[in-house]
Structure formats: structure tokens, C-alpha cells
Structure 1
Amino acid sequence: MFSRKHVETLLQTVLHDDDILAAYHKYWQQYSQGAIYVNQLFGYLNTAYIKKRKLSDADLIYGEINFDTNEQELEIYDLFLHIWKRHMITPLQGQLTTLISQEIMKDRNGGAVNQAVLHGVLDSFVSIEAYKKREPVQFYRSIFEDRFLQETGEYYRQVASQLRSEHNCSEYMEKVIQKIRHENMRSRKFLHPSSYEKVSEEIQNKLVDDHIQLFHAACEEMLHLDRRKDLSNMYSLLKPIQNGLNYLIDKVENAIKRTGLEAVQNLKGKNIPCTFVKSMLEFPKKYSELIRIVFNNDLKFIQALDKACVYAINVKIKGECKSPELLAKYYDNILRQSPKEISEMELDEKLDNGITVFRYLEDKDLYQRFYSRFLAKRLIYNLSTSMDAEESMINKLKQACGYEFTNKLHQMFTDMSISRDLKKKFENFCRKKKFDIGLGFSILVLQAGAWPIRQSGFPTFAIPRELEKSVQMFETFYNNIFCGRKLIWVHYSCMAVVQFNYLKKLYTVTMGTYHTAILLLFNNTDSLTFQELKETSELPEKDLKKELQVLVKSRILLTEGEINAYSEFILNRNYSNKKLRFNINVMQKITAKEVEHTNRAVDNDRKMYLEATIVRIMKARKCTRHILLVNEVIKQSKSRFTPNVNLIKKCIEVLIDRNFIERSLSKPDEYNYVA
């Protein structure tokens, strides 16, 4: 009773004061401090009577009981606060909230405001119900916050309209950032912490979200002109908005895609593979720096950069993606012997650069095919800059894709090592048999499944007498060691080192086996007709013409006119060359025919891989829907290549025809595994 009368007396004093907020704040401080003293004085009453009748904190917070405040059930301090709320704040709430809003508006306009008073008054709205466990700021929210947020929104709606009419997008963003920064500081000066985020969200909605089309219209030009300050401002303004960055992210991704596509389309010059890798490394650098500096390494922008790089590197020009072949050629150029020596550090850096591009490749299986073909050429013709560099490259690929990806590549190195041992054993075998081959003979025995070498379809020919003994002797040696293994001689990949002893200078020429077989026929004569060469070499007419064209073009053989069945070929005894050692058409590069064969082989491999994947999935699931099966096949195949949905459908049909799976009778879009 005494407390209520005291508060009513203070109310009258406040009402008659010129500065109601200051008077309210003064008496609130005195009253709240006095309430603490009285609470301490009646501490035994709180403990012995009130607390025993009160519900527990758990009941108040988590219980389903709707507990209405009762003056007789409150502790002394809480009771005093309740009296202040009922007899001071409730009668004054209209005036107090109006005066608070006016003071905050004055602060927005640069006027002087008593921060301690304003903050103290608002804090009293929260403190008055601090004893409530459920929503202790409910009273503060109901009498002040809801109204304040509405007024703030209306104020900044007008501010936004004025700023848009007076400024362009760049200037508008600068002004908005200042407004948001000042309002956030104002919130922390005056308001309760529960209001900070709400006020910030309200300002964002009125100044940014309601005008988001303005930002969208300007962002593409800002990206094109590389206006990083404006882009940074736009990023900071759009980030708090739900899905606000999506449009900007799309524009950044499209800009990177355009740059990457231009880099791919503008490839020109002699060394296109190196230019390709260099371009694919350089074009993301600009945007990587942009994302780091302007967009604060935001994960969504990093993902957009990755997507754009994947698009640029895997783009199909005229229906074909050249990236796997170009990257394989890039490594071939690096790992192939070169007159210009590079340091180990520089070599390792170049290998890592290629791996960076490789990680973005979708058709990794196609790259593997090309790489294995180039590697085979380097190993067979002893063209590698170093075996350490070759093994380092294989290890980098294994780290990127796993052991299965490099299994056959490892086997190629194993075969080379075994071949060196076989060569030594063959030499010992010949010494024991006291057999003189009569020439230098080196052999490579390679596993058919590991090497990308055609085993059939190459032209047959009569092995020259000079080579026949060595071939027969090696077959005898090999059959003695291995029982049941079959040797297939790949003559089109062989080469011979031939000396020209009929000229003034001694020339040493490296050439293919077919060229060697043709030239050896001129040991006993200076002139042979096309028919004589055909009958003796037993080469098909088409292949014989091709081999003779090379010898005629290099001026080793002479003939008149176009090569035909009636041509006569004369050994050029006046032949001269600046080089004493040179090569004639040794198959060191990948031909267009081999590229075509590689693409066909990859297509066949993909069909078998997809069929095996489908069977594996169906065996595990027994029954699944069409869309789920397709998605799972794509998911499991992505590490090797991105499969075409139509190809997956064809593989499913093939497996149905072969009775591996069957369509469900009850559901047409469902498949069952046939055990």
C-alpha cells in the first residue's frame, strides 16, 4: 500500500516536470535502488514464504501452466517492480514512447540527446519484468519496440525514395551504408540488445530489399568495368538479404564463363597445348583476386568460380571437347626430351599447373587414353626427359584420381623394367648358344592389356633377311622361358638405325621397319620397280605407296611423276644432308587416325563402365526407380566422366535384353535385378 501511494505521488511529480524523460529516469533509479534495499530487509519473508509457493524455473520455462502474475506471490523486489509498472509506466506509456521516438529522431537529424536518460528509460521497460522466465522482454516489445520498428521502417522508406531521386546507384550504396552504420550505432546506444537485429533487418528491407532491382541493373556494368569498390559495397548490402546475393553470383559466374570461353576460342600459335594450360590458369586469377578482395572469399562465389572453370575447360566447340587431348599433349611436350633443359623445380611447377587444370576436366577417362598413348610413344622410343619426372607425374595423377586410374600406367613402367631384364637374359642366351645375331637388337615385351597399342589391322610384310634370324632366335628364347604365351610382333611401331655406306659421308638414319625393309632391297641393286618392291616386301599396295612417298620426299629414292604400279625407283647416290644423324617419319606423334581410334575406344569403355555400374547398383538395391538409378549412375561415374542420360538409357535397354535386369510389372518406371 505504501509503495503504491509513493509511486502515485512520483507520477504526479513527473507529469508536472518540463522534462518528463529526465524526471522519470531520475525517480526510476531512486525507486529501483530502494526496492533492492527493501528486498534485502525482507529476505527471510522471501525465503520462508514466497519462494515455497512459487513455481520452479523449470515449470515456468518448460511447463504448460499459464501462470499469471499475482502481487501476493511475488518476491518483495519483483512486487515493487510490478507496482512501478502498473502505477507509473502504464499511465505514462503513450507520452514516454512518443518522447523516446522524438529523441531518437532528433539524434538521426544530428541533434543533442541525453544518451544515459534515453537508454535508462528503455532499460526500465525490460527490467520491470526481468523476473519473468518466459519472454522477459515482452512488455518492452509491446509498448515500444513494435511501434519503433514501424516508425523506423516508414522513416527509411522516405529516406530511400529521396536518395534514389538524388543519386545514382554507386552514390546510393555509399549513402545507404552510412545510414545503416549510423543506425546500428544508434541501436547500441539506446536500445535493448534484443532489438539490434530487428532494427538492422528493417533498415535492410527498406533501403536495400525494396530497391534490389536497382542493384541488379547496375551489377553487370560494375563487373565489366571492374569497379571493385562498388561491388564491395553491393556485396555488403546484399549479403544480409535472404537470397540477395544469388543474382550477383550468377553475373559473376557468367562473366568468368565468358572470359574462359574467349580464352579457349582464341587459342592460336605453334604450341597450342601450352597456351591452353597457361590460359586456363590465368583467366581465373583475376576473378580469384576479385573474390578474395571484394567478396571476402565467400564460399558461394568460390563455388561460382569453380563452376565457370569447369564450363570453360570442358566447353564443346563444334560438338567436341579438345581439352583432354590438349592437356595430354601439354604433358607430352614437358616430359619429352628437349634441347632446352629446365630445372627440377620448374618442371615440377609445370606438372602441378597441368594438374590444376586436370582437376576441372570432366572427361578424365578420355584424358587417360590420350596420356597413355603419349606415354607409350615416349617409353618405346626412349624420348622421356627423365624417368623420375614420368613417375612423379603418375603419382600426381594417382593422388588426384586414385590407384585404379593409374594402374595401367604403372604396368607400363613395370613392362619396361621387365623388358630390360629380358634383353640381358637374351644376350646371355645367345652367348651360351654361340649364336651371332649380326646386328644390334633391342626388344620390348609389352602386355597387351596395359599398352594402348593396336594388335591387329596393321599391314603384314616379309621380314628382311637381315632381321629374320634375330626374330626367330628371340621367339625360341621366349618360348623356352614362358609356356603358353603368344608373341605378337608390332612391326609398325618398330624402328631401326640404318647406316648409309654408299655415299661420300656416313649417315646414320633412324627410320621405321617398313622403310628399312624397302631400303634393304637396294643393297644389291640401284633400281627397282614398284611391282618388284611389292612382291619382295609383300606390303599391301596402299601401304607400300605411303612408305615410298616418304622415301621419295626425303630424296633417298628418286622416281618420275606420281607413284603408281609402273613407277621405277632409283637409289639416290648423290644424296646429301646437313645432318649426319636424322630421323625419317618415326612414329613419335599421335596421328589423326589414332585420335579417332582413341575416341572410339573411350566410347566403348564408357558403355562397358556404365553397364557394370548399373548392374552393381541393381545388385545392391534389388529394385529401384528409373530416375533414382540414373542419378546414382551419374553420381558414381562423375570421377571418370559425365555420362550422357541417353547413353545410360541405352545401357539399361541392353541389360534388359541380356536379362541382367527387368522392368517391374506393377510399375513401368521401376526395375528389378535378375539374380
Structure 2
Amino acid sequence: MERKVIELDQGWDYMQKGITKLKRILEGSVEQFNSEEYMMLYTTIYNMCTQKPPHDYSQQLYDKYKDSFEEYISSTVLPAIREKHDEFMLRELVKRWGNHKLMVRWLSRFFHYLDRYFIARRSLPALNEVGLTCFRSLVYTEISAKARNAVIVLIDKEREGEQIDKALLKNVLDIFVEIGMGQMDCYEQDFEAPMLEDTGVYYSHKASSWILDDSCPAYMLKSEECLKKERDRVAHYLHSSSEAKLVEKVQHELLVNFSTQLLEKENSGCRALLRDDKVDDLSRMYRLYHKIPKGLDPVATIFKQVLIMYFSQHITAEGMLLVQQAEDAASNQVILGFDYSQVLIRKVIELHDKYLAYVSDCFQNHTLFHKAMKEAFEIFCNKTVGGSPSAELLATFCDNILKKGGSEKLSDEAIEDILEKVVKLLAYISDKDLFAEFYRKKLARRLLFERSANEEHEKSILTKLKQQCGGQFTSKMEGMVTDLTLAKDNQNEFENYLSNNPNAHPGIDLSVNVLTTGFWPSYKSSDLNLPSEMVRGVQVFKEFYDTKSKHRKLTWIYSLGSCQLIGNFEAKKIEMVVSTYQAAILLLFNTSDRLSYSEIMTQSNLGHEDLVRLLHSLSCAKYKILIKEPISKTVSPNDIFEFNPKFTDRMRRIKIPLPVVDERKKVVEDVDKDRRYAIDAAIVRIMKSRKVLGHQQLVSECVEQLSRMFKPDIKAIKKRMEDLIARDYLERDKENANLFRYLA
């Protein structure tokens, strides 16, 4: 049976009744659609769309669907919104938007057949999209600016501490998001951009007031609280995509724009926080500023540089104060009665610990702060104090820690901790090679004179130095320690040799350390005329050593030797610990009662400089073993010396020290000589690989290679280059004097 045709007017009249009922429901009627009504409305649309042409009214129904929304919006929705203002307008807007979405849902069900076939075939906007577009073009376009302004007013009220309806703002802002139908353009352009602009103005006013009235910590507290509240704002009603932009805006107005003024506050800025150990405030400063993206905001980079500058300047200022105090102590050392170098290094260690804690705890080990700290410590860690370079002071400090009785009693753990910190300080010292030479000199004395307090600590610091500066830095020192171990074995073999060869006994107790020349510092070797008692010992040891190796030459370093002599004084016998030189002089008085200065020089074969020091220690110092004529506090070539039989001391064993010799000059000379070799090697190494190189580039690469051990002088590099040219390792280009060629 053929289906009866439904004409457009007839069918639409029926649909109008359904739409009118839907409008009543939206306006608050308690009516509801039953299933029969729903099916009749759906079926009417279905029948009108499936009739044969010219009775297929799909296009007309699609148009009337849109007209239904436009008529309802124009007659009901817009008038209802227009008559309200501010927060009441927002509530009406939220209500009408909710009703509109409900109307779209119901009508799109009634007209669903259009969506399935007609719209799909014609590639037209879907029913849901048509409904939302109607609201956007008629309501949103007119109302969005007023709604945005009302929302911003409420946000500013909340910033001032007033209570607002956050759920309402959430619903309003959802309209800005949903009206974009999958795009964020409406939210970003119509609401977010003006909201961010208002935020900037709001916090700019606040910051201008706070920066004048508040201390730096108070300002930062307020800033941190504001940032927290803005993030909460996003969580409660703003879209999540706004968080980064909003936070950046607040950071810019509160933190970036006023960074310099904030840091330079006289009594509460960065300097004061560092000075007063305000760890919490420094941590807050870091928390606030490290989140500002350096790449996105150049001003943030400027702030970081300012912060680093203050951090660096503060450490430098405090470190230089320590240096000045040490300088003052050096000039008054006798009065003050303490070793200024030890005090200085300990103070520097304390200072380093303090600021390292800042970097670690407050600034989260950020590389910028590590760099700032390094630059600051390098400034005053390379100062000369009391004529001593910092490398020498550090080596002396280590010597005091490691030798017997050199420092206050410290536990093994405390010593290890100090050694660890000393090695960290070494990283800031430019002349590491100078430290190595001073340290090697002092290590040699500790090892040779058995002054080292603990062998494990000696090995431990060498391990730390090796890790810090490389194997080449400690190779000679490690060789020295190994030498002493081998020397003990060698001494045991010598004693066994004497036991097995009674006729070879030297007549004295003799202990000899055989050392490798390349490992140890260079020592003065003189042709001392040994007393007969000692000559026999030297011969016996040489005979023993020839049985072990005939290919090695023994060079005796008498200046490092020590002897124990028994002095037969009238009061009592006293055992005297003296150097080999002192012993040689004293033993001359076994055969002569009086000797002139020249006679002692002739018989001992010692030079004037050494002899003056030795005779002074025996006749003018604390222990006057010899009597000098004429009596004075200085030794001259016209003096006469004789044994002092009346000498006595409350101790039965005394050590007669030699006047201290300042070895600084010789150490510096040795290091300068080594540096010349190092510069030569670096230049040759670079030129051998590059063959041809410009003057400036050669100097730069040479500095870069050598800077790990010392800061090379540019003039010295140029001088070595000229020397290598003279020795035919390099030549200048004939056409370009600034170009060098490798020859060797």
C-alpha cells in the first residue's frame, strides 16, 4: 500500500508543536516528551525526507532546523541576557547556554535522519554544529566582551581577597572553550589575551608598591603566594592551557621587571641574605627565579646574570677580607704567635663549605651558581699572602696536617675530610704545578725524616690529587712513597749482609735510603770531607750495593743525612741529634781543642754559606755546643771555635736544628724551568699535528693545553716560540710573519 504524502506545511506544523513544547520545557515547564511523541516527531522528519521528489523536503527541513534556533535565540535568549548585568548576566548566560545545548541535543535527535543521509551526501555542517554556530553568531558575538569583562572584574576581586562564585566562573569560561568547537581560538583571543593583559596591569601596580614598602624577603613571600594563588585559579576555573602563560606574566611583572631593585635592596637584598645566612629566603629566591624560562624571556637571563654577579662579588669580598687579615697577621706574626697560613686556609675551607651549602641547599646545585662560586674563589685563592703564593700556603697546610705533631689532634675521619676539602680548593688555584713542587718538597722531608703521621693519609691524599689533576701530577710523589718502601727492604738486606759478613761492619749504626733520582726534588750535593768514622760506613754500603747492582751509580746527599752523637760533657753525657754536616764539624773537635773558621772550612771542605749556617746552629743558637770567640750572634771568617765542656741541658737527648732556609726561590726557579719545557712540548705537539698555524691560534691552543696545570704567560710562550725557531723546530712563513711552519 502506497504511503500518504506529507506536505511541507502540514509536516512542519506538527514539528512546530513539538518544538514549542521543547521551548516550554527549557523555560521551566514540568512537561516531558513521552516515547510516542518522540517517535512521531522522528517519524515525521523521516517520512518527509524519504518521499519521492518533488516531495523530498530534506533541504527545507535543514533550513527550518536552523531557523528554529535563530527564532528562539532572538525572541527569548538574547532579551533575557540583555536585561541583566555583571554577575547576574553571567548566570543568565550560563543558564541559556545550558538550555541551548539541551535544545540542540533534542532537535538533533528529532532531525537525526538528516544527519545520517542528507547532510552526509551534501557535505553540509552537522546538526550539532549548526545549533552551536547559531548561538555563537547571535549570542556569543554580542555578549562575549561583556562576559569577559565581568569575569575579569570577579578575578580581580578575588585577588583582593573577596569571596567569589568560582563554579560560576568555571561555567562561563567553559562557554569560551566549547563555543570554539574543538579549537581554542575563542578562549585564547576573546578571554585569555585580555585576562593576561589585565593580570599584567594588576601585578605591575602591586609590584610598584611592594618594591618601595617591603623588604626583599617579604616581597618574595608575597610573590610566591601570588604565584600559588594564580595556579590555584587555573585549577578552579581557568583552562589548564592558561597556567604557563599566566605564571609567566606574573613572574615577569613581579620578578623580572623588579629583579635589580629587589636584589639591590640595601638591608635585605641578595647581599644581606648571603651575609646573614638567610637560607630559607635564598632558597625561595631560587625557587621563584629558576622557573623563569631563560630562552623565552631575555630579561630572566639578565636577572640570573645579576644574581650570579652579586653571589660572586659577595664571596670575593669575604674571601679578600680573609686574605687581608692573613696579610696583617703575617706582618705581626711574632706578636700574634700563630701561623697565619694555617688560619687562612682553614678560614677559606670554612668559607667554601658555607657557600657550597648555599649552592647545594638553596640553589639546587645549579651550574650557574657552581660557575659563580668557582670564579669568585679563583680570585682570592690565587692571591699572594705575606710573600707566599697560595700554592705554597696550601702545601704548607697539608704538611701541617700530615706530619707528626704538626696540628691539633684530629681523628682519622676529620683528617680525611680536611684533605678532601684541600683538594677541592686546589681546583681554584691556577699554579697547580707550583703546589705540586712545594708539596713534593715537604712530602720528601716527611718521608725521609720519618715525620709522616700516617702512611694511609699520605696515600689517600695522593689518590685524591690523582683524581683531581691526573696521573702525571702525582707520578713522582707516588714514586717517592714506593721508593721508601723499597728502601726499607734494601735496609733489611743490608743488615742481613752485615750479619753474614762480620768483617764488613762499618763500626757505626748505619741506615741508608736508596732513592730514584727522577722522583725526588733536586738536592745540593757537596764534596764533604767525611770524618773517618763515617768513611768506613760509606765504603761498606757501596760494597754491599755492588753485589746487588753494578750498573747504578750512588750519589750521596749528605745534606739530608742525620746522625746521633754522644757528647761527653762535664755534667753528663747528652745524646745529640744533628745533621751529617753538623756531625762532621763536631767530630773535628775529637782531635783538636780549638779550630779557626778557616781550619774548619779546610778540613770539612764546606762552602762559606753552608759553614756559616752550621757554626751558627752550634755556637750562637739555643744549644751552644761550641764556644765562639769573639762572642756574638753572628759568625765571621775570623772567629775561633772550641768545644764547650760545660754545656748541659735538662734533657738527655736534644735535637739541634739548622736555621730555616727559605726554599721558595729555588722552588719557583725549578718550576719556571719545568714550565719552559712544558711550553716547548706543547708548541711542538700542536705544530706537529697542525703543520701550519697562525701566531694567535698557536698561542691560544698552547694556553688551553697548559691551563690545567698553570696559567702560562703569553710573553713566555712567544719567547719559547722564538727559541724553537732558533733551534730549527719551527720557521716563519716568508710571506706572512704571523704564520708558522713545523720543521722537525
TM-score range, shorter chain: 0.7 to 0.9
Specify the SS of the correspondent of 1:375: helix
| Conservation of the 8 A alpha-carbon contact between 1:272 and 1:326 | no
Structure 1 residue 448 corresponds to structure 2 residue 507: no
| Conservation of the 8 A alpha-carbon contact between 1:363 and 1:641 | yes
Structure 1 residue 13 corresponds to structure 2 residue 76: yes
Letter of the 2:185 partner, please give it: Q
Specify the SS of the correspondent of 2:177: helix
Distance of aligned partners of 1:50 and 1:479 in 2 relative to their CA distance in 1, 3 Å threshold? farther
Letter of the 1:585 partner, please give it: P
Moved more, 157-166 or 554-563: 157-166
CA distance in 2, matches of 1:341, 1:118: 70
CA distance in 2, matches of 1:227, 1:372: 42
Specify the SS of the correspondent of 1:338: coil
* Residue of structure 1 equivalent to 2:168: 117
* Residue of structure 2 equivalent to 1:370: 438
CA distance in 2, matches of 1:418, 1:401: 26
The correspondence for 1:556, drawn from 625, 641, 645, is: 625
Structure 1 residue 97 corresponds to structure 2 residue 160: no
The correspondence for 2:710, drawn from 641, 646, 657, is: 641
* Residue of structure 1 equivalent to 2:7: none
| Conservation of the 8 A alpha-carbon contact between 2:69 and 2:131 | no
CA distance in 2, matches of 1:257, 1:141: 48
Distance of aligned partners of 1:85 and 1:646 in 2 relative to their CA distance in 1, 3 Å threshold? farther
Count of matched residue positions in the alignment of Structure 1 and Structure 2: 647
Distance of aligned partners of 1:645 and 1:86 in 2 relative to their CA distance in 1, 3 Å threshold? farther
| Conservation of the 8 A alpha-carbon contact between 1:557 and 1:570 | yes
* Residue of structure 1 equivalent to 2:607: 540
Distance of aligned partners of 1:40 and 1:664 in 2 relative to their CA distance in 1, 3 Å threshold? farther
CA distance in 2, matches of 1:28, 1:415: 92
* Residue of structure 1 equivalent to 2:556: 489
Letter of the 2:509 partner, please give it: G
* Residue of structure 1 equivalent to 2:8: none
CA distance in 2, matches of 1:353, 1:155: 50
Letter of the 1:409 partner, please give it: M
Specify the SS of the correspondent of 1:145: helix
Moved more, 27-36 or 188-197: 27-36
Moved more, 273-282 or 445-454: 273-282
Distance of aligned partners of 1:511 and 1:227 in 2 relative to their CA distance in 1, 3 Å threshold? closer
Moved more, 409-418 or 92-101: 92-101
Aligned pairs for 1:70-149 within 5 A: 72-131=123-182, 136-149=183-196
Question: Percent of aligned pairs with the same residue?
Answer: 30
Please report how far the alpha carbon of residue 572 of structure 1 lies from its aligned counterpart in structure 2 after TM superposition: 1.0
| Conservation of the 8 A alpha-carbon contact between 1:277 and 1:353 | no
Distance of aligned partners of 1:201 and 1:619 in 2 relative to their CA distance in 1, 3 Å threshold? same
CA distance in 2, matches of 1:45, 1:479: 116
Structure 1 residue 574 corresponds to structure 2 residue 646: yes
CA distance in 2, matches of 1:228, 1:468: 69
* Residue of structure 2 equivalent to 1:510: 577
* Residue of structure 2 equivalent to 1:191: 238
CA distance in 2, matches of 1:663, 1:3: 92
* Residue of structure 1 equivalent to 2:529: 462
Structure 1 residue 248 corresponds to structure 2 residue 307: yes
| Conservation of the 8 A alpha-carbon contact between 1:4 and 1:87 | no
Specify the SS of the correspondent of 1:518: helix
Please report how far the alpha carbon of residue 184 of structure 1 lies from its aligned counterpart in structure 2 after TM superposition: 4.0
**Does 1 or 2 have the higher relative contact order (CA < 8 Å, sep 6+)?**
1
Structure 1 residue 283 corresponds to structure 2 residue 355: no
CA distance in 2, matches of 1:461, 1:175: 81
CA distance in 2, matches of 1:565, 1:111: 99
Specify the SS of the correspondent of 2:258: helix
Aligned pairs for 1:193-592 within 5 A: 193-218=240-265, 219=269, 220-224=271-275, 235=286, 238-239=289-290, 240=292, 242-243=300-301, 244-267=303-326, 268=329, 269-291=337-359, 294-295=362-363, 298-317=366-385, 322-338=389-405, 343-430=411-498, 431-432=500-501, 434-454=503-523, 456=524, 458-553=525-620, 554-561=623-630, 563-585=635-657, 591-592=661-662
Please report how far the alpha carbon of residue 450 of structure 1 lies from its aligned counterpart in structure 2 after TM superposition: 0.6
CA distance in 1, matches of 2:461, 2:527: 36
Please report how far the alpha carbon of residue 574 of structure 1 lies from its aligned counterpart in structure 2 after TM superposition: 0.9
CA distance in 2, matches of 1:311, 1:323: 11
CA distance in 1, matches of 2:212, 2:502: 102
Provide, for residues 2-54 of structure 1, a one-character-per-residue CA deviation record: whole Å limited to 9, x for no partner. 44334322254333222432222223234335556777888898788988x9x
Specify the SS of the correspondent of 2:599: helix
Distance of aligned partners of 1:38 and 1:449 in 2 relative to their CA distance in 1, 3 Å threshold? farther
Moved more, 338-347 or 509-518: 338-347
Larger Rg: 2
Distance of aligned partners of 1:672 and 1:138 in 2 relative to their CA distance in 1, 3 Å threshold? farther
Distance of aligned partners of 1:461 and 1:232 in 2 relative to their CA distance in 1, 3 Å threshold? closer
Provide, for residues 307-361 of structure 1, a one-character-per-residue CA deviation record: whole Å limited to 9, x for no partner. 323333223458x663221222222222222297654334433433433433433
CA distance in 2, matches of 1:444, 1:198: 75
| Conservation of the 8 A alpha-carbon contact between 1:366 and 1:602 | yes
Provide, for residues 103-161 of structure 1, a one-character-per-residue CA deviation record: whole Å limited to 9, x for no partner. 33443445554333322232222223344xxxx21232222222333333334434444
CA distance in 2, matches of 1:81, 1:327: 79
CA distance in 2, matches of 1:607, 1:582: 44
Distance of aligned partners of 1:13 and 1:116 in 2 relative to their CA distance in 1, 3 Å threshold? farther
* Residue of structure 2 equivalent to 1:4: 66
CA RMSD of aligned residues (A): 3.4
Specify the SS of the correspondent of 1:509: strand
CA distance in 2, matches of 1:362, 1:442: 40
Moved more, 497-506 or 376-385: 497-506
Please report how far the alpha carbon of residue 296 of structure 1 lies from its aligned counterpart in structure 2 after TM superposition: 5.2
| Conservation of the 8 A alpha-carbon contact between 1:35 and 1:80 | yes
Provide, for residues 172-221 of structure 1, a one-character-per-residue CA deviation record: whole Å limited to 9, x for no partner. 55555444444443344332222222233333333443434421431245
CA distance in 2, matches of 1:45, 1:434: 128
Distance of aligned partners of 1:472 and 1:43 in 2 relative to their CA distance in 1, 3 Å threshold? farther
Please report how far the alpha carbon of residue 628 of structure 1 lies from its aligned counterpart in structure 2 after TM superposition: 4.4
| Conservation of the 8 A alpha-carbon contact between 1:526 and 1:570 | yes
Distance of aligned partners of 1:526 and 1:321 in 2 relative to their CA distance in 1, 3 Å threshold? closer
